[in-house]
Chain A
Amino acid sequence: MMWLSGGFIFRRGNSVYHRLDPRVKLLNSVLMFASTLMVRSVYELLGVIVFLVAVAAVATVLRRVARTMLLTGTFSVFIFLINFLFTRNLESSVLYAARFVAIVVSTSLFFITTSPDELEQVMKTFRLPRDVVFAFVTAVRFIPVMMLDTIQIMDAQKSRGLELDKGNVFRRVRNMVPVLIPLVVNSVVRSGELAEAMESRAYGVVPRPTSLVQYRASAADKAVTVAAILLFALAAYSFYYVLPVQFP
């Protein structure tokens, strides 16, 4: 689980890529994701991966992406083995295995360079209801806070002789009760306080709230968009050329 969260948690950066319009970053990741699925040869997939790595380098997250690739790579060894066992086709097995790595990298690139506030902007573009968007933002905002709560509760109960990892499965589940109850109670109290603070700051009084930030398409935004579309077009071309879609 740790490698998974490491590959998807946003950390602030100041690269050109971080400063892009979050919608452009989303578009780029979605198109690369789609390209990955469309390409039909290992070489073409290599092209997509090279592009992703280049983007990671520009975004100065190469080390994190490399780590994610390495970790997903160990998993895709199994994909390769299983595929090869059944199909006995070396190239397609490599393709499937590498495809998995590329999918994870394209998705992770979006999440590690896009702050929760930017995610909110993206959600707004899709005209999701304000309450849904806000619920998402608060959830992300309070994950670290609740994790800290959990640690403190566990520390307090361990200091009262609770041994969390003692006994059989049932015993262990029961051991969690002294941790879960304060956690739930705290969260309920916290949501009450949040509701008061939201109300006091006029949450929901106008149907269309304004926003402090506005994105204007910069040269970098345009460049990344064009590059992503081009690469996608190539992938799509290859997909249709090699295997034209047949309608019944």
Chain B
Amino acid sequence: MIEFEDVSFVHQSGVKALDEVSLTIGSGEIVALVGENGAGKTTLVKHVTGLLKPSSGRVLVDGEDTKSTSTAQLSRRVGVAFQNPDHQLFSESVEEEMSFALRNFGFTQELIANRVSWGLELFELEEYRKSSPLVLSGGEKKRLTLACILAWDPDVVILDEPTVGQDSIQKEKLAGTIGMLRSTGKTVVVVSHDIEFLWPVQPRVVVMKGGRVVGDGPAAAIMQDERLLASARVVQPEMVEFYQGLKRRPAGPFIDPLEARRWVEGSEL
């Protein structure tokens, strides 16, 4: 469980990046964190593993204050994949890159080998096992950073813009992986401008604006709240707009065109 209690964070420059944020994320939840660039999403994420400490308020991970724990200890439980893969890839091979964190966390050689193979297979990177991570395409690098995090099996997984550079098939697979993580009881937080891909897992959506949480609720409700989205400068998915244009509608908005087509054609009968 992750708890933010009245957390404010003021940068050295005096800019207030978080403004009295209170937020509780229970274990097993899937949360999408949305908001324009500069709304404070990444700053919030950095507080979970103690990379930043609150200027006021408290952040608790499983009841433990991040001020009294090290980032290394917190990271064992909370895996964060940051936005830009080029800020972390450094090893000679993809396989080495994946082993890095596992060695830091003291995994046995045998376990490392197992976990690396599992991750490479899950993210379709097996063929690059011995290649330098630097030769991968942008999308592949991104998948590698996700594999690196999942490899040490953290209880909480935080993904910052995981769909950048991914085509629609990879996005579907990523949604599948997130669903799988939920079924094993993991907590997943996805920071993204693109929450349509998360639709199959129906996340809880938290909307940020100017360092504050301005909206929090199930995806279907938040994505239909046009006033909220406009004020936070979040773009409503076109399929939700389509749904809202219909007079007679099914219970929840659809995001998948196939589903919409079935409904439109079904209602004709």
Binding site for B on A (CB under 8 A): 149, 152-153, 155-163, 177-178, 181-182, 185-186, 189
When A and B form their complex, which 3 residue pairs have the shortest distance between CB atoms, in order from nearest?
A161-B104, A181-B90, A160-B101
How far is A89 from B88 in the complex, measured between Cα atoms in Å? 58
A163 contact set on B, CB distance < 8 A: 70, 72, 104
How far is A43 from B147 in the complex, measured between Cα atoms in Å? 70
**Beta-carbon contact of A161 and B80 below 8 Å:** no
A189 contact set on B, CB distance < 8 A: 86
**Beta-carbon contact of B75 and A182 below 8 Å:** no
- Interface secondary structure of A, over-half rule: helix
B104 contact set on A, CB distance < 8 A: 160-163
**Beta-carbon contact of A161 and B72 below 8 Å:** yes
Binding site for A on B (CB under 8 A): 46, 49, 51, 70-72, 75-76, 79-80, 82, 84, 86-90, 100-101, 104-105, 134, 148-149, 152
**Beta-carbon contact of B90 and A182 below 8 Å:** yes
How far, in Å, is B213 (CB) from chain A's closest CB?
22
A159 contact set on B, CB distance < 8 A: 49, 51, 71, 75, 79-80, 82
A-B contact pairs, 24 of them (CB 8 A): A149-B87, A152-B87, A153-B87, A155-B82, A156-B88, A157-B88, A158-B49, A158-B51, A159-B49, A159-B71, A160-B88, A160-B104, A161-B72, A161-B104, A162-B100, A163-B70, A177-B90, A178-B88, A182-B87, A182-B89, A182-B90, A185-B90, A185-B134, A186-B87
How far, in Å, is A3 (CB) from chain B's closest CB?
15
**Beta-carbon contact of B70 and A156 below 8 Å:** no
How far is A229 from B36 in the complex, measured between Cα atoms in Å? 54
16 further interface pairs, Cβ-Cβ under 8 Å (given A161-B72, A161-B101) = A149-B87, A152-B82, A156-B87, A159-B75, A159-B80, A160-B75, A160-B149, A161-B75, A161-B105, A162-B104, A163-B104, A177-B90, A178-B90, A182-B87, A182-B89, A185-B86
How far is A243 from B156 in the complex, measured between Cα atoms in Å? 76
How far is A163 from B105 in the complex, measured between Cα atoms in Å? 10
A161 contact set on B, CB distance < 8 A: 72, 75-76, 100-101, 104-105, 152
Q: A159-B71, A161-B104 are in contact. Are A153 and B88 (CB under 8 A)?
A: yes
Name the residue among B49, B76, B90 with the largest chain A CB count within 10 angstroms: B90
B82 contact set on A, CB distance < 8 A: 152, 155-156, 159
A178 contact set on B, CB distance < 8 A: 88, 90, 100
Name the residue among A153, A159, A178, A189 with the largest chain B CB count within 10 angstroms: A159
A152 contact set on B, CB distance < 8 A: 82, 84, 87
**Beta-carbon contact of B148 and A160 below 8 Å:** yes
How far is A181 from B87 in the complex, measured between Cα atoms in Å? 9
A156 contact set on B, CB distance < 8 A: 82, 87-88
How far is A155 from B47 in the complex, measured between Cα atoms in Å? 11
B70 contact set on A, CB distance < 8 A: 163
* Complex: chain B residue closest to A150, CB-CB: B87
B87 contact set on A, CB distance < 8 A: 149, 152-153, 156, 182, 186
B51 contact set on A, CB distance < 8 A: 155, 158-159
B71 contact set on A, CB distance < 8 A: 158-159
